[in-house]
Amino acid sequence: MAKPKVFVTRRIAQETLNMIASSTDMELWDNELPPPRDVLLNKVQTVEGLLSLLTDKIDAELMNAAPELKIVSNLAVGYDNIDVTEATKRGILVGNTPGVLTETTADFTFALLLAAARRLVEADRYTRAGNWKTWGPMVLLGQDVHHATLGIVGCGRIGLEVAKRARGFDMKVLYHNRVRRKQADEKAFGLEYVPDLSELLSRADFVTIHAALTPETHHLISTAELAKMKPTAILINASRGTIVDQKALYQALKSGQILGAGLDVTEVEPISLDDPLLALDNVIIAPHIASASVVTRTKMAMMAAENLLAGLQRKLPPNCVNPDVMRRR
Ligand code: DGY
């Protein structure tokens, strides 16, 4: 029997590719950059499985071009690049990679927070530029993290891990979430639930965003919200770029309305080199690498491969975002 055709849109851990290739007719897009749209539309014409990344837009147009498609396995926990409603309508399963990246992403969030608070990137630039002439009592003064107040916006798995790390720094932790967490979690992680986002923004020294991107969270943090923050506050975003209105953030950073920001994500990725944010010293911008550890990316790839192979066999993928597809069959 012919093996099912699959398209993998970027090189991932070799053992995972071997696993996929052993039971499918796999084509790999072995390039640093994503397949251009026309290439992607062409490649999916005869495939039953697609292993996609968050840079691949999986919409109705793509599904129209892929009449055989059974499973889209996204190598990410987020799946805002996929029109899940459309996939479900067509009986196409969608898989994602939750859990395995939680702690790695929380570690990186904390790295961004510490680096922004203590001006680490600026300090490195200062040293390399030959500005380190002596120990200076007023040089590169930053903000204390210990005993400061952290406001977590979107407190799911990753938010909770960030809260855990914050406890080691004796921080007070506030959180705002669609649904209040169980009392046991609040107690275990020392969390204070703040139902009003404005209140959280006005009380926090550090605001960190971990909400999923949905129509409701698009530009959740814009001019009015930034105006609520303290002039000494720092905004961290390791979720999705469009949750923060980047033009409003630029104005707030430039005018000193807030002190700084640490971003792992931007509205347009990659950020354009002429974006005004890049001219500011009080923002750190990383290229969407919060989950990028060797171990975590390997685990994510393995999970994505398992989801893909299950979907090809019409089995429920271990991590499926639209299990309704199975019930309807
Ligand atoms: C995700 O998984 O959604 C991250 O943004 C990349 O790891």
Q: What is the CATH number of the domain that holds 299?
A: 3.40.50.720
CA distances to 204, 223, 271, 279 from 276, rounded to whole Å, are 26, 17, 10, 5
Nearest to 234 by CA among 215, 252, 212, 214: 252
Do 262 and 213 lie in one domain? The reply is yes
Nearest CA to ligand 1 atom 1: 76
pTM, two decimal places: 0.96
| One domain for residues 157 and 110 | yes
pLDDT one-digit tens code per residue, 254-301: 999 999 999 999 999 999 999 999 999 999 999 999 999 999 999 999
- Token pair of 83, please? 């029109």
Do 279 and 218 lie in one domain? The reply is yes
288 catalytically annotated: yes
The predicted model gives 180-194 an average pLDDT of: 96
Phi, psi of 18 (to 5 degrees): -60, -45
- The single residue listed with the structure tokens 């968050």 is 54
Catalytic residue among 119, 176, 288, 297: 288
Distance CA 74, CA 37 (A): 17
Calculate how far, in angstroms, residue 291's C-alpha sits from the geometric centre of ligand 1: 6
Note down the domain range covering 171. Answer: 102-285
Please name the residue that has the structure tokens 């979720």.
239
329: pLDDT strictly greater than 80: no
Asked if 227 and 109 sit in the same domain, the reply is yes
Q: With contact defined as beta carbons under 8 Å apart, do 303 and 21 qualify?
A: no
- pLDDT for res 250: 98
What CA–CA distance (Å, rounded) separates 227 from 221? 10
- Give me the number of domains the chain comprises: 2
The encoded tokens of residue 102 equal 């939680």
Residue 308 is inside which H or E element, if any? helix 294-312
Render pLDDT for 116-166 as a digit per residue (tens, 0 to 9).
Answer: 999 999 999 999 999 999 999 999 999 999 999 999 999 999 999 999 999
